[in-house]
């Protein structure tokens, strides 16, 4: 079968299509014929080697993590799915990718595709849905009436996180460009800062939670908008010692991550705030709950652009420009 792979880490990862063996599902796995793949910013970061010490791949490795497709075979221990079922899932952090014609998917990470979404719409959800769910509900424990800042509200994670935060009863602030102000307001944002005119830390005040979605100085600047006891949950780094301990990494890496995050942790401590880094985990049960929200219409997918499978590399390049309005999707199998 065809898969989009990278062969090495670094500035020249040699990304391209390769003929790879069609996977054979294990006892607890589904073999899924992939119809569509949702792309995420980390898909462009992984080949650089930035997470080489954390995310393990056997090279050459297939890129991508989100998928939606049809089950064609199930392992002997699988009980919740059968051939012919439409499913969606994230393979992130499982050592294999989704930009391929087929994938072996552990039953525990899969869920039935939301009935009201097609494959392109469904595959735009898993990573951003699980990330927002785990960051806002589990890590930040966002409560009704609290204020949460979601930078880059028109991006893939931002568009979903705004909607989920509103569903949870929160007041939502965000940033976006002039052309996307109406979009993020339509998604539910209460306070919108046009970053071409203002800086968020001069406008927003007394927030309870910051969802870190942008690299650079935004995380440190966000300290100033939080009230005492506020929480920063970063999806982009810096990595911290607690993350190293949770993944049972060696002590040297814990020291390295401590050094990397020393400034933001010091700033947080000075203001009586908490800081943590989050890697979303695949979780089929949570995707089933998210599917219910999608089917009810409380949350909707936002798609920037759909590329055919033979242009998957171009789709990654497009995503890497940082201008996507919602999710970028690769359609592997035309409807």
C-alpha–C-alpha distance, residues 280 and 109, integer Å: 12
pLDDT, tens digit (0-9, with 9 covering 90-100), for 178-191: 999 999 999 999 99
Measure the CA–CA gap between 22 and 330, rounded to whole angstroms.
19
pLDDT of the residue at 250: 81
Residue range 209-241, pLDDT digits in tens = 999 888 778 899 999 999 999 999 999 888 899
- What Cα–Cα distance (Å) separates residue 108 from each residue in 5, 105, 149, 188? 25, 8, 31, 32
Q: Is 175 helix (H, G, I), strand (E, B) or coil?
A: strand
Predicted TM-score of the model (pTM): 0.95
CATH 3.40.50.720 location in the chain = 128-277
Q: For 128-277, which CATH class?
A: alpha beta
Report helix, strand or coil for 264. Answer: helix
Paired with 32 in beta bridges are 71, 103
Sign of CA dihedral 285, 287, 290, 295: negative
Provide the 10 A C-beta neighbour count for residue 101: 17
Which ranges in the chain are annotated with CATH 3.90.180.10?
A: 2-124+301-331
Pick the CATH number of 2-124+301-331 from 3.10.129.10, 3.90.180.10, 3.30.2350.10, 3.30.1390.20: 3.90.180.10
Which are the contacts of 98, defined by CB distance < 8 A and separation ≥ 6?
A: 34, 37, 62, 64, 65, 66, 67, 91
pLDDT digits (tens, 9 = 90+) for 80-98: 999 999 999 999 999 999 9
Q: Report the alpha-carbon distance of residue 150 to residue 236 in Å, rounded.
A: 13
Alpha-carbon span 8 to 33, nearest angstrom: 26
Does residue 323 sit in helix, strand or coil? Answer: coil
Whole-angstrom distance, CA of residue 271 vs CA of residue 114: 42
Tell me, what's the pLDDT at 119?
98
Residue in the structure block whose two tokens are 């049809």: 70
């Amino acid at each position: 079968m065809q898969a989009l792979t990278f062969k090495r880490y670094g500035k020249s990862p040699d990304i391209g299509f390769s003929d790879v063996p069609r996977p054979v599902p294990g006892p607890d796995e589904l073999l899924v014929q992939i119809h569509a793949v949702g792309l995420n910013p980390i898909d462009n970061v992984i080949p650089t080697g930035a997470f080489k010490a954390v995310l393990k791949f056997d090279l050459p490795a297939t890129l991508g993590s989100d998928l939606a497709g049809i089950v064609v075979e199930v392992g002997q221990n699988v009980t919740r799915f059968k051939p012919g079922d439409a499913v969606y899932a994230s393979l992130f952090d499982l050592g294999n990718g989704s930009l391929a014609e087929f994938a072996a998917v552990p039953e525990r990470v899969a869920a039935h595709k939301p009935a009201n979404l097609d494959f392109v719409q469904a595959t735009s959800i898993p990573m951003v849905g699980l990330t927002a769910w785990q960051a806002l509900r589990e890590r930040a424990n966002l409560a009704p009436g609290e204020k949460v800042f979601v930078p880059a509200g028109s991006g893939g994670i931002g568009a979903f996180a705004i909607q989920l935060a509103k569903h949870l009863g929160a007041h939502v602030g965000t940033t976006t460009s002039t052309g996307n102000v109406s979009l993020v307001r339509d998604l539910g944002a209460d306070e919108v800062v046009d970053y071409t005119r203002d800086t968020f830390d001069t406008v927003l005040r007394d927030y309870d939670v910051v969802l870190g979605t942008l690299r650079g100085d935004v995380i440190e600047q966000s300290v100033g908008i939080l009230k005492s006891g506020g929480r920063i949950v970063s999806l982009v780094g810096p990595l911290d010692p607690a993350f190293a301990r949770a993944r049972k990494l060696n002590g040297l890496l814990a020291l390295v991550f401590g050094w990397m995050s020393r400034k933001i942790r010091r700033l947080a401590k000075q203001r009586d705030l908490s800081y943590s880094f989050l890697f979303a985990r695949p979780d089929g049960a949570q995707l089933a709950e998210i599917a219910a929200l999608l089917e009810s219409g409380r949350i909707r997918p936002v798609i920037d652009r759909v590329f055919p499978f033979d242009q998957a590399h171009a789709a990654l390049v497009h995503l890497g420009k940082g201008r996507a309005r919602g999710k970028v999707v690769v359609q592997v199998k035309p409807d």
